[in-house]
Amino acid sequence: MMTLFFGILAFICTFLGGLFALRFKDHLHLVLGFSAGALLGVAFFDLLPESISLTAGTYDVSTATFMIAVGFVVFLLLDRFIAPHSHGDELCENESHRGRLGAGGLSIHSFLDGMVIGLAFKVSLELGAIVTVAVLVHDFSDGINTVSLILKNGGKRREALRWLALDSLAPIAGVLSTFLFSVSEATLGIILSLFCGFFLYIGASDLLPESHHRHPTMWTTLATVLGISLLYVVIQIAG
């Protein structure tokens, strides 16, 4: 029951982040700039070291970094051929699909967050508490990123709320799934490596360029730096 309680906390943090993004959608370029920084911060300071740590003893570091590259390339191919787009002034007909693709990736990541919480508590109470704190500190930004991706790609408030609800419920589903099965730490590390690649692509190729499109560079740059810095600080404190 303790793991389910922490899954509910993850739901609350994610949902609040999404509501924050909806509240300040009139300043979407700043929200996108922050989201880009937060997503890159999660990739560099959370997923990357965690994947290397979990695969240690089974795979070497080069395997984890190779899987990061695989994740990046896979999302690149999905982006280019499943939901192609343009960076012109007009939204192309596939822009909404691109937003859903990114939001779907974040929702799967949130499901994995719940899995990590559940599996960590199976090891020990101390490890479970540490992992839970690390998950909660970036769930708020996950909610922001999910809503930002939908709104940026032409989605409406109702669609953004649907994806936010899915992303918020995903950690609870992830926690519950660990009552049915488990995976090895090394396998979980490989999965996190793939998502690290996904997030690097979304942050660097989608959110970051779009945040600077037709908006003052200085403020959006500061928002991006703030996003990276904030995630670094909270992850270090959680660690």
Q: How far is CA 169 from CA 13, 71, 106, 166, in A?
A: 11, 24, 12, 5
Going by pLDDT thresholds of 50, 70 and 90, the confidence category of residue 11 is very high
187: CB partners within 8 A, 6+ apart? none
Look at residue 90 and tell me whether its pLDDT is greater than 50.
no
CB atoms within 10 A of CB 61: 11
User: Who has greater pLDDT, 207 or 225?
Assistant: 225
- What percentage of residues in the chain have a pLDDT greater than 70? 84
Region class of 219: left (phi > 0), else alpha (psi between -120 and 50), else beta: alpha
Going by pLDDT thresholds of 50, 70 and 90, the confidence category of residue 173 is very high
Per-residue pLDDT at 89: 44
Look at residue 83 and tell me whether its pLDDT is greater than 60.
no
Question: Which residue in 84, 88, 96 sits closest to 210, CA to CA?
Answer: 88
Per-residue pLDDT at 70: 96
d(CA 44, CA 42): 6
Question: Which residue in 3, 12, 25 sits closest to 168, CA to CA?
Answer: 12
Count the residues in the chain. 239
- Which stretches of the chain are DSSP H helices? 2-23, 28-42, 48-55, 61-77, 95-123, 125-152, 157-177, 185-201, 208-211, 217-238
Tell me the residue type at 217: T
Residues 15-26 have pLDDT tens digits of 998 998 898 877
Question: Rounded to a whole number, what is the distance in angstroms from the first to the last CA of the chain?
Answer: 24
Report the pLDDT averaged over residues 185-196: 86
